[in-house]
Structure 1
Amino acid sequence: MSEPAVRPASPPDAFAGRLERTEVQRGPSSIPGREIVQVLTRIPVGVASGWHTHPGEEVGYILAGTVTMAIRGRDTLTLHAGDGFLIPPGVPHDARDVGPGTGQMLSTYVVATGQPLVTLLG
Structure 2
Amino acid sequence: MRLFPKKFPNDEDGQVLKMLYKQGVDFNKPQIVDFFIGIPDSESGNALSTALRNDGFSCELEQDEETKEWTLYCYVEMLLIHEEIVNVQRRLDELSEPFGGYTDGWGVMVD
Q: TM-score, normalised by structure 2?
A: 0.30
Which has the larger strand fraction? 1
